[in-house]
Amino acid sequence: MARIRACTLCAAHLPLGPRPVLQASRTSRLLVTSQAPGRKVHESGVPFNDVSGNRLREWMGIDRETFYDAAQVAIIPMGFCYPGTGKGGDLPPRPECAPTWHPQLLPRLTQLQLTLAIGQYALVGMLGKEHCAKRLTDTVRAWREHLARASVLPLPHPSPRNKLWMQRNPWFEAELLPVLRERVAAALAQSAPRVTMSSSPNPTKISPAPPSTNRRSRR
């Protein structure tokens, strides 16, 4: 993890400089993966430390203490650093990140029971492009297939801006969320003693990286 925290592979493309935000442990039973940290998360160094995170934890049926316990929950996005913004919102995760670090990190999480893939980039990364529909809604609608084949539950982003999507897809709350909470509870009930992947001598979880001193203006 020290190597990840020190990574500068994409530094020239990051408007606020590198600050990888993730947590993981050899004993993690649950993996949460999404696109990349937003600006607020970059500033705090804490993943999902925002309104979207509150909703995600509500979906999962767990509290903050459990969510931020790396011995139980790994949080590994497709891009570890804030990529900046474009005309339509946050830019995609940097293409160098996941191919560089996921193959070194994910195989070490040997106790995983369930993966929550949030948003199109995470779905393609976890399921493979061949198993993803063009529309995120169609991929999420096929959640039973993905759960059975790969122990992956596809999810939309828990942003409050997706309220209209929730209204148009009532099956998500009625059918998927109860199974999500059930599977999360089952995975975490089997959590083993913590062995956290970190260079610290006696950590409980991976601590956030220090703030970057490279505060270039946003593009």
- pLDDT tens column, 34-81: 999 999 999 999 999 999 999 999 999 999 999 999 999 999 999 999
Maximum Cα–Cα distance across the chain: 49
Residue 203 inside a domain? The answer is: no
Q: What is the CATH number of the domain that holds 179?
A: 3.40.470.10
Report d(CA 125, CA 123) in Å as an integer: 5
Report d(CA 20, CA 22) in Å as an integer: 6
Which residue range(s) make up the domain with 24? Answer: 19-84+91-189
Residue 195 inside a domain? The answer is: no
Residue 203 pLDDT more than 70? no
How many independent structural domains does the chain possess? 1
Query: pLDDT grade, residue 113 (50/70/90)?
Result: very high
Query: What pLDDT does residue 106 have?
Result: 98
Per-residue pLDDT of 4-17, as tens digits, reads 999 999 999 999 99
* pLDDT above 70 coverage of the chain, percent: 87
Is the backbone of residue 150 left (phi > 0), alpha (psi -120 to 50) or beta? alpha
Return the bridge partners of 40, or none.
none
Residue 214 pLDDT more than 60? no
Report d(CA 125, CA 115) in Å as an integer: 12
Strands of 152-155's sheet in order across: 73-75, 30-33, 114-118, 152-155
Residue 115 inside a domain? The answer is: yes
pTM for this structure?
Answer: 0.87
- Reported as type and span, the H/E element at residue 85 is strand 85-86
Report d(CA 3, CA 17) in Å as an integer: 16
Residue 184 inside a domain? The answer is: yes
Residue 212 inside a domain? The answer is: no
Two tokens at 111? 């106790």
Residue 7 inside a domain? The answer is: no
Q: Which amino acid is at 178?
A: P
Residue 194 inside a domain? The answer is: no
Residue 145 inside a domain? The answer is: yes
